[in-house]
Structure 1
Amino acid sequence: MTPGNMQGKVCLITGATSGIGLESARALARAGATVVLSGRDKGRGEAALAEVRRTVPDAKLDLLLADLTSLASVRQLAQDFQSRYPRLDVLLNNAGLVLDRRKVTPDGFEATFATNHLSHFLLTNLLLELLKASGPSRVVNVSSEGHRMGSLDFLDDPQAERGGYSGMKVYGNSKLANILFTRGLSKRLQGTKVTANSLHPGVVRTGFGLNAEGFFKHLVKLAAPFMLSAEGGARTSVYLAASPEVEGMSAKYFIKSKVARESKAAQSDEGAETLWRKSAELTGVGR
């Protein structure tokens, strides 16, 4: 990966202690950025810092702990970041979760929707003024081609409370939410020097999906030999975070570092606005 020169830039990455988040951190640190890794576990976080420094000895790194299933923890993450850094050039919303059984967060939200969408909606809005003040700056949202399994029907039941629970369907809805959020955010960023884009990283061989149980976890293990490496999966994230080629480009969806067409549902301005209103009500920001 050969991103642009990131000297003097500050990047915050969620879900950065393993997988494509870790490889994104490595690439951006190699390009000269100060990279703040966010993760839930202190031990894994410190191991991630050591791993990046192993290959990038002069890396400028920091670790902030946050549990994205908790909105209070997300608020603390935003507060901690702003207390340490006067600028934010790239917010890479990378953390993701898939479950095959319905679980509820301490806030009472369905866990996949809360982690994959609500946490990033809240974090982005809490850091938005800093992003604007640091412009030109970028928000990069890691979605998935799995968004094609989602439908706008989820907007009537975002907590997946009705009917039978399908982990893959709920995951697809959360990835659809990532793109709709990017769409709604880009609209609100018009006239600023902040851009927002989303991406599909590829089918990546990481620990993702291994938190699930039963058949899905078994399927992930079987498919692992045919998947991209974490480094390969990070390429489009790094491209959108650092490449001068996408300067000023916003509201786009990328695959393999190229603009791609998202699903029809993901192109819905009405859906984006409905999701924004619901998310604002649930998190108390973005109104």
Structure 2
Amino acid sequence: AMHGYGSGNPQVVFMQLDLASLKSVRSFAETFLKTEPRLDILINNAGVISPGCTEEGFDLAFGVNHLGHFLLTNLLLERLWRCGPSRVITVSALLHRFGSIDFQLLAPQTDAVPPQSAWSSLQAYCNSKLCNVLFTRELANRLEGTDVTCYTLHPGVIYTELCCNLSQWLQLLMMPLAKLFLLDPSGGCQTTLYCALQEGIEPLSGRYFSNCALQQVGANGRDDGLAKKLWEVSERLTGMA
């Protein structure tokens, strides 16, 4: 670990973690649990829009934005539970409303993957953000009666490296849209901080926030049966089942 990595703060410890590799997630969790006695807040923050596959052959957006976070959270859950009251925050996006889940398509690809169009990359991103909402919903159900609560949120569009993998015409298409809703990174993290730190929101565990307020999710995001099935499939795909 490199202390104060890039931040000048000696309290910050950097640990290597690649969410596109379940092996990396496992080794990170092992290192973390060995070296850090406490875990009070876990923020699952990654969001990629990009064609391609993870190390295990999963669609990149699904693998990084959902599966990597799913495995990471589960591996750290006992520590969160022991340090309660604690919280799990998973950053979703407004675009979860355009997401859907086709369980046939979630399995890892063994053969060469045809190049994805920009449009299908965007759809895969929406689907992965719906997974974040459903994951949080089912996690809340499983954590009921414990001291661990969980929340998901729309952070506000932040123009970070998220878009650097998009083809240029899609960037041009997104730019005016992004500018309309644009927040700088400190503005974009307000709702994340709200979910992590706000007192008294514990009864809202499992719910979705935007602009530091509770919001309704899209219809697919309210489906408990779908949330439970996604959890079971994710357990199988990450080798936890």
State TM-score, norm by structure 2: 0.89
1:175-230 CA distances to partner (integer Å, 9 max, x unpaired)?
A: 00000000111111011100011000011122211122232233344445441111
Gaps in structure 1 of 5+ consecutive residues? 1-35, 37-41, 54-58
Q: CA RMSD in A?
A: 2.2
Q: Could you tell me which of 246, 249, 253 is aligned with 2:204?
A: 249
**Over residues 35-60 of structure 1, what are the superposed CA-to-partner deviations in whole Å (9 max), with x where a residue is unaligned?**
x9xxxxx8xx933x23xx4xxxxx62
Partner of 2:63: 114
> What's the offset of the Cα at 1:247?
3.4
Q: In the TM superposition, what is the alpha-carbon distance from 1:242 to its structure 2 partner?
A: 1.0
Asked if residue 79 in structure 1 is aligned to residue 30 in structure 2, the reply is yes
Aligned partner (choices 220, 238, 241) of residue 283 of structure 1 = 238
Map 1:181-192 to 2 at 5 A.
181-192=135-146
- Within a 5 Å distance, the mapping from 1:82-161 to structure 2 comes to 82-99=33-50, 101=51, 103-152=52-101, 154-158=102-106
Map of 1:66 onto structure 2:
17
Q: Is the 8 Å Cα contact of residues 56 and 108 (structure 2) preserved in structure 1?
A: no
Task: Give the aligned partner of residue 167 of structure 1.
Answer: 121
Task: Give the AA of the match of 2:164.
Answer: L
- 1:132 alignment partner AA: W
Q: Which runs of 5+ in 2 are unaligned?
A: none
Which SS does the other structure have where 2:58 is aligned? Answer: coil
1:232: which partner in 2? 187
Instruction: Decide whether aligned partners of structure 1 residues 116 and 65 sit closer, same or farther in structure 2, where only a CA change above 3 A counts.
Output: same
How far did residue 280 of structure 1 move?
0.3
Letter in 1 for 2:81: K
Normalising to structure 1: TM-score of the pair?
0.75
Identity %: 40
Tell me by how many angstroms 1:86 deviates. 1.1
Q: Deviations over 1:243-280 (max 9, x none)?
A: 11323430110001111000000000111011011100
Q: Report deviation, 1:160.
A: 9.0
SS of residue in 2 equivalent to 1:75? helix
Q: 1:78 to 1:248 in 2, by over 3 A?
A: farther
